């Protein structure tokens, strides 16, 4: 397994199913999990009340209601955050048990932190019983969901009859992609042959001539959706067919894989009366990106305020132990290659740049400059790098908008000039203080794995993924693992 894949498994980076289908299941699962959590809470409280223990346990109604609401919200949010609701049809016993452990564990930790912060005395027997019962209820529901998920899915509007326009390899591949959804109510009623020659091809489903499409839509079947997956040379002849579907009000979907194979994000936009299919190398949801920017601004500002004593101590140590400026400034490549000035606490001697030729032969990396035990480091600088304290001034870069808290590390222009073409896509996301590479040992990651981890982050980005990376980075940084 490659490093990128192992990180992806840890952070649950999985390809989505139908988007609208997934949203329905997330809502349904979240609702049921909330009910199960409330049931576990009530049962654990009742059990503790009835146990013949020396100490009597009792919560006033206000505290009981507040704790119950907090637990329900926390358990459901944990399910969304861990992306558990996207795997409602998982048949793997280990995955079901593990997901329930993680969800109950996250909720339990949040509950303990709340109780500690409020200094609220709560029975440990009640807490243990509640967390265990919530886990057991979640596991039971997940196992049961494997059998009733298809019928529930059909009941919630996933039942659809579809026709596929086209009979070539593109249409066949689309049919194979749709077949796993048949148990959830999607039925392929047949193919529509664009040319008469295609009528003679052997198909596992009925094949209708294109000329009969209008009558098929009007009388023969109940058609919910029509998928257009014809070959490139057949597209021009489908204008009438598309108009017929429009007149009938039938949902139309166009397989856009006639474009060269691309990675990244695809969206449909409209400019005036012209529909545009947009292919983007990075996330393009302006609302979510605005939320990311807002979170960056709030957390970076809060970090600067809370860590101001650390800033002051580090500045004094750098000034007292070596000659030169406290802050090191360097030009870096930001979003889409735009240049900005990156700030760091100086960790090397004042003339380190002039002495680079003396140590270049010690470089342990391709393209990027990473020198273990660099002789140009000051005594304080070595310690600052070990715990990433030298990067604290980059919080000001985050506030300015040059960087984000999570994103590919900002590269210097000389490195970018040596990138292979596929590696340049990492510039399409705002650079950050941490990313997936920080979870693999920071400076221990080889260059190509580093690039692939950045691209994996871009292709699977979400606000939840950012939160998980931040939380998983903190212990790595505090332990000093992987820094050189």
Domain termination residue (choose one: 100, 135, 157): 157
3-state secondary structure the chain: CCHHHHHHHHCCCCCCCCHHHHHHHHHHHHHHHHHHHHHHHHHHHHHHHHCCCCCCCCCCHHHHHHHHHHHHHHHHHHHHHCCHHHHCCCCCHHHHHHHHHHHHHHHHHHHHHHHHHHCCCCCHHHHHHHHHHHHHHHHHHHHHHHHHHHHHHHHHHHCEEEEEECCCHHHHHHHHHHHHHHHHCEEEEEEEECCCHHHHCCCCCCEEEHHHHHHHHHHHCCCCEEEECCCHHHHHHHHHHHHHHHHHCCEEEECCCCCCCCCCEEEEEEECCEEEEEEECCCCCHHHHHHHHHHHHHHHHHHHHHCHHHHHHHHHHHHHHCCCCCEEEEEEECHHHCEEEEEEECCECCCCCCCHHHHHHHCCCCCCCCCCCCCCECHHHHHHHHCCHHHCCHHHHHHHCCCEEECCCCECHHHHCCCCHHHHHHHHCCCEEECHHHHHCHHHCCHHHHHHHHHHHHHCCCHHHHHHHHHHHHHHHHHCCCCC
Same domain, 146 and 15: yes
Task: Identify the domain boundary among 220, 243, 258.
Answer: 258
Rounded distance between C-alpha atoms, residue 271 and residue 47, angstroms: 62
| Whether residue 129 is found in the same domain as residue 165 | no
Q: Look at residue 15 in the predicted model and tell me its pLDDT.
A: 41
- Summarised one tens digit per residue, pLDDT across range 7-28 is 555 554 444 455 556 666 778 8
Nearest residue to 107 (alpha-carbon basis) of 141, 80, 85: 80
For residue 408, what are its two tokens? Answer: 């590919």
Residue 441 has a pLDDT of: 63
Q: Given pLDDT bands bounded at 50, 70 and 90, which one contains residue 364?
A: low
Whether 249 and 378 share a structural domain: no
Q: Which two tokens stand for residue 82?
A: 């861990």
Q: Are 322 and 425 found together in one domain?
A: yes
Q: Is residue 264 part of a domain?
A: no
Range among 4-8, 186-190, 214-218, 340-344 rated most confident = 340-344
For the chain, give the percent of residues with pLDDT over 70. Answer: 83
Q: What is the CATH number of the domain that holds 175?
A: 3.40.50.720
The pLDDT, as a whole number, for residue 466 is 92
Q: Residue 328: its pLDDT value, please?
A: 92
Report the alpha-carbon distance of residue 97 to residue 31 in Å, rounded: 20
Q: What is the C-alpha separation between 41 and 421, in angstroms, rounded?
A: 55
pLDDT of residue 130: 93
Contacts of 225 (CB under 8 A, 6+ apart): 160, 161, 162, 163, 250, 251, 252, 253
- 131, 157, 183 — which closes off a domain? 157
Q: Do 331 and 467 reside in the same domain of the chain?
A: yes
pLDDT in tens, 71-94: 999 999 988 888 787 666 555 788
The parent domain of residue 173 ranges over 159-258
Tell me if 238 is assigned to some domain.
yes
Highest mean pLDDT among 8-17, 247-256, 319-328: 319-328
Average pLDDT of the segment spanning 316-328: 91
Asked whether residue 186 falls in the same domain as residue 117, the answer is no
Q: What average pLDDT does the segment 300-328 reach?
A: 93
Please give the residue that has the higher pLDDT: either 384 or 195.
Answer: 384
Q: How far apart are CA 285 and CA 266, in angstroms?
A: 11
pLDDT band at 315 (very low <50, low <70, confident <90, very high): very high
Residues 381, 346: Cα–Cα separation, whole Å: 7
More confident residue, 96 or 157: 96
Same domain, 149 and 163: no
The pTM of this model reads 0.64
What tokens appear for 65 in the block? Answer: 């209601």
Question: How many whole angstroms separate alpha carbon 374 and alpha carbon 363?
Answer: 9
Q: What are phi and psi of 329, to 5 degrees?
A: -110, 140
Q: Does some domain include residue 431? A: yes
Look over the chain and give the mean of its residue pLDDT values, rounded to a whole number: 82
Question: Using one digit for the tens of pLDDT, what is the confidence trace for 389-448?
Answer: 999 999 999 999 999 999 999 999 988 888 888 888 888 899 999 988 887 766 667 788
Q: Locate tokens 């326009």: which residue?
A: 165
Please indicate, yes or no, whether residues 293 and 222 belong to a single structural domain of this protein.
no
In a domain, 274, yes or no: no
Q: Does residue 362 sit in the same domain as residue 232? A: no
Q: How far is CA 58 from CA 128, 217, 382, in A?
A: 16, 65, 54
> Higher pLDDT residue, 304 or 368?
304
Number of independent structural domains in the chain:
3
Q: How many CA atoms lie within 13 A of 152 on its CB side?
A: 14
Contact 88, 147 (CB under 8 A): no
Q: Same structural domain for residues 171 and 75? A: no
Residue 367 has pLDDT above 90, yes or no: no
> Does some domain include residue 30?
yes
Whether 462 maps to a domain, the answer reads yes
Q: Quick one: 166 and 57 in the same domain?
A: no
Query: In terms of domains, do 109 and 206 share one?
Result: no
Residue 265 counted as domain residue: no
For residue 266, being part of any structural domain is answered with no
The C-alpha atoms of residue 454 and residue 435 are separated, in whole angstroms, by 7
Ramachandran angles phi, psi of 338, nearest 5°: -65, 140
């Amino acid at each position: 397994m490659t490093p990128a894949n192992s990180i992806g498994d840890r952070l649950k980076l999985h390809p989505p199913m139908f988007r609208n289908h997934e949203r329905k299941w997330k809502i349904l699962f979240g609702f049921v999990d909330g009910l199960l959590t409330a049931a576990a809470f009530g049962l654990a409280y009742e059990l503790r009340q009835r146990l013949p223990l020396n100490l009597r346990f009792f919560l006033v109604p206000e505290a009981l209601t507040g704790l119950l609401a907090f637990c329900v919200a926390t358990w459901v949010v944990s399910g969304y955050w861990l992306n558990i609701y996207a795997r409602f049809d998982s048949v793997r016993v280990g995955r079901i048990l593990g997901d329930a452990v993680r969800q109950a564990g996250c909720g339990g930790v949040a509950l303990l932190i709340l109780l500690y912060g409020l200094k609220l005395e709560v029975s440990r027997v009640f807490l243990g019983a509640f967390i265990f019962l919530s886990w057991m209820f979640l596991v039971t529901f997940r196992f049961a969901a494997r059998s009733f998920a298809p019928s529930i899915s059909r009941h919630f509007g996933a039942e659809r009859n579809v026709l596929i326009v086209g009979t070539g390899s593109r249409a066949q591949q689309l049919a194979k992609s749709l077949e796993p959804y048949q148990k959830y109510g999607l039925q392929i009623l047949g193919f529509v042959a664009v040319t008469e020659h295609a009528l003679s091809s052997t198909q596992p489903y009925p094949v209708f001539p294109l000329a009969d499409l209008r009558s098929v839509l009007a009388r023969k079947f109940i058609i919910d959706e029509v998928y257009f997956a014809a070959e490139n040379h057949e597209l021009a002849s489908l204008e009438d067919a598309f108009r017929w579907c429009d007149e009938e009000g039938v949902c139309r979907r166009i397989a856009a894989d006639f474009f060269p194979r691309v990675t990244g994000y695809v969206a449909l936009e409209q400019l005036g009366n012209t529909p545009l299919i947009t292919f983007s190398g990075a996330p393009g949801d302006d609302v979510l990106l605005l939320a990311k920017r807002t979170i960056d601004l709030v957390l970076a500002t809060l970090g600067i305020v809370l860590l101001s004593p650390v800033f002051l101590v580090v500045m004094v140590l750098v000034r007292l132990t070596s000659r030169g400026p406290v802050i090191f400034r360097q030009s870096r490549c930001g979003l889409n290659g735009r240049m900005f000035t990156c700030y760091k606490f100086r960790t090397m001697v004042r003339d380190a740049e002039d002495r680079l030729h003396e140590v270049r032969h010690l470089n342990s990396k391709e393209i990027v400059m990473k020198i273990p035990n660099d002789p140009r480091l000051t005594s304080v600088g070595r310690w600052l790098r070990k715990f990433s304290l030298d990067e604290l001034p980059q919080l000001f870069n985050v506030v300015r908008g040059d960087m984000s808290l999570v994103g590919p590390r900002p590269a210097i222009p000389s490195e970018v000039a040596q990138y292979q073409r596929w590696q340049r896509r990492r510039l399409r996301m705002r650079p950050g203080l941490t990313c997936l590479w920080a979870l693999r040992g920071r400076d221990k990651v080889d260059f190509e794995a580093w690039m692939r981890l950045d691209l994996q982050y871009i292709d699977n980005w979400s606000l939840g993924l950012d939160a998980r990376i931040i939380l998983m980075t903190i212990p790595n940084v505090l332990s000093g693992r992987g820094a050189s």
